[in-house]
Chains A and B, each alone.
Chain A
């Protein structure tokens, strides 16, 4: 599986936008980019995914570089509840179990 690189930690203020970067220079042409997050003492939860185009949903936006070697998860207006570890994961579009390989992620701290 192709590897992703994320900063270990980031800090932001409540009600401000947050941009979480992810580098994936060895991404293949068919790998999907996924983001999950893990709130304290909980299991991970799905945030968003994309292939080539930027994506938006109710939780966040995903901006994908034109060469697909990096991507950015954007939280438009952070709240205290967004404090979590965010994982950027690459997945091949194969049929079947679609196993996820988690790295260490970025621990996001939100200041009130």
Chain B
């Protein structure tokens, strides 16, 4: 299994509070991604990173920010959580381009915003 962990695995918070989710990898992969998954839906890309301090928006980036200060960590921050951000969040990693490299996914973080 790819060395990718997410913390916390579960979190309950209240509307308006800031929340930070952490994704940590031991593979030294260049690319990292944050997705969210809502009931009955596939995953939707929030933000991704293509290197230290290099990030870009995905499909559903409003209300989220990210940071990557070192290769192994990719942080997702909800500045002021809302109930619509209740979801399961998955982090993924991918090796360098050139040949096809599949994405490896973490175990997910279940976030509930009350």
Contacts and interface: CB of A to CB of B under 8 A. Distances in A.
Interface string A88-112: 0000000111111111110000000
B22 to A, nearest CB: 15
A32 B99 CA distance: 12
B90 A43 contact: yes
Interface stretch (A17-25, A44-52, A74-82): A44-52
Interface in B42-92: 42-45, 48, 50, 56, 58-59, 90, 92
Given A49-B100, A98-B97, A99-B58, A87 B92 contact: no
Contacts of B50: 96-97
Contact of A103 (B42, B45, B102): B42
A98 B100 CA distance: 9
- Report the interface size class on chain B: 20 to 34
A34 B90 CA distance: 19
B108 A102 contact: no
A46 B107 contact: no
B100 A44 contact: no
A64 B89 CA distance: 32
A97 B48 contact: yes
B53 to A, nearest CB: 15
Nearest to A107: B40
A95 B45 contact: no
Closest 4 CB pairs of A and B: A43-B105, A102-B42, A46-B102, A95-B97
7 contacts: A34-B102, A42-B108, A46-B102, A96-B50, A97-B50, A98-B101, A102-B43
